[in-house]
Amino acid sequence: MSMTDPIADFLTQIRNAIHAAHETVEIPSSKLKAELARILTEQGYIESWSVHPRSDGRFGEVIEINLKYTAERRSAISGLRRVSRPGRRTYVDAGSIPKVLGGMGTSILSTSHGVMTGHDARLAGVGGEVIAQVW
């Protein structure tokens, strides 16, 4: 586990859980990760999420994410990509927010108005840091 990029770890843990066909995945909690989980739920990529104390008695909270699969056991998420990294931040203005798979996917941005989808940021006319893309 890299301790430098918690968001990349968050995406990787979801990716790994999908590959292993898990129903749920527990990830150490943070406000930003909770916002990412909220957007993934709103956009229909995951079933639900909740924050609760760690079951192992250690300090802190975890986000429990209930993954979403089709009847054929195919994940609702086909890809997750970290865009802006600690070593290379990626900022865009409202006019140049990237479309993911021609609008089929979702860009997630951290803006001055909070964490939102690329679509919402475009409507609000705000740019920000492109955190990740989901499709």
Whether the predicted pLDDT of 86 surpasses 80: yes
- In whole angstroms, give the CA distance from residue 18 to residue 78: 9
- pLDDT single digits (tens) 33-84: 999 999 999 999 999 999 999 888 888 999 999 999 999 999 999 999 999 9
Is 130 in contact with 100 (CB distance < 8 Å)? Answer: no
Q: What percent of the chain has pLDDT over 90?
A: 91
Q: pTM above 0.85?
A: yes
Domains of the chain in sequence order: 6-67 (3.30.1370.30), 80-134 (3.30.1490.10)
